Structure 1
Amino acid sequence: MFKKIFGSLGRRPTQTQSSTPTATITVVSGLPRSGTSLMMRMLEAGGIPPLTDHQRTADDDNPGGYYEFERVKQLEKGDTAWLTEMSGKVVKVISLLLRHLPSDYHYKVVFMERDLTEVLASQRKMLSNRHEDEAVNEAVDDAQMTALFTHHLQEIRQWLAAHDNFAVLYVNYGDLLANPQPTVAALKRFLGDWLDTAAMLTVIDPTLYRNRQE
């Protein structure tokens, strides 16, 4: 599944060029299975409505829901009109698609980071639960995907740092679950003092940290 999503990792990131940035859009990003859905749930509890179409419903792999908006997947094909609906909302955009966001907006990105071994283990478990054949040849795939992901994450960090219309807060998934208060405080500073941090803390369930690497 990761290979389908990240098949274009070798391409150099470029951003869609447009006019001077105006409105600010809040984005949750990161690799799939890195904690992006949890962060979306936290921000929703904190008072930021999510942009989601509810097409992908909660399941055993993601009991709290996926918080996805299908049109995000069409960003690389130029479908950006939906961004006009983003006022006061937050949307989930996987890290590979960040470069396709148009430059006529400012973005505040909460970027989830997680141990790559945990990311791949979580993905394998999800594939197994869905009885998909890609769960085979794990060792080879893990080695290849770890190298690809490492390169991609380094590249996207550099790309984000080079674009003035992106402000980024990096959040470690393991740290968030182990000691959420510092992260919630950082989110409040980054996104706004009006966030309901008490409500955000209530949706964090450490028991869902199911692929922890000791």
Structure 2
Amino acid sequence: MSKRTIHQYKEEQLSQAMAAMRNGMKIREASRVFSVPRGTLQDRLHLRVPDLPRKMGPDSVLTKTEETVLTYWCIALAKCGFPLKCDDLLNTVHNIISEDNRPNPFVNNRPGKKWYQSFLRRNPELSERTPENISNGRAAVTEEGIPKWFAELVKHLEDINASNILTDPDRIFNGDETSFHICPKTGKVIAPRGYKNVYKIVKGKEKEAVTVLVFIYICYICPRLLGKFCLLV
């Protein structure tokens, strides 16, 4: 048996070819210009097949509306700090189709990884990302709260007559750290495509780590090296 020929053109090309033929272009020329088979154009022009977007494969288990709702749900949870994993989404779909006994090709009404990958392709707003864990405390930090914190710091230094710290080069440091986190990564989650930072709020201390902290001192004097406290017996 010969292999089935798969469409090699996009729906946009077909629409452009049909519009050109309605404006007087010949079928042969439209086929050549827009790279759409001549037989396909003839069938559409003479209404032998409906002039509707083509669809390959069986019908989807979920409707387009249901998939759109799921997509918005995934995006909303990711923005709130609770991104879904693959299994979370598959379990949700399982519940949807089990509640109304919807016909489906899945084992025990639960889709697999193949359906999951197809879902991501059908909904390009979503992508798989590896999130950064943050605690509830860090998640509560807002853009408005940071200037407020610095303003309170300045006021505190003024209250204790130590505001000169802010203008004394001997007391100006800049540091950066590289950490080896003890809190394990959570694996890939579903998030909005193009979303710069994806976080997952965790119960543990997400900052517990072995850390290398490098300081730059404005007066070029090497600062002290600090290590973890250890009681010597």
TM-score (norm 2): 0.24
**Using CA pairs below 8 Å that are at least 6 residues apart, which structure has the higher relative contact order?**
1
Q: Which structure is higher in helix share?
A: 1
TM-score (norm 1): 0.25
Higher alpha-carbon Rg: 2
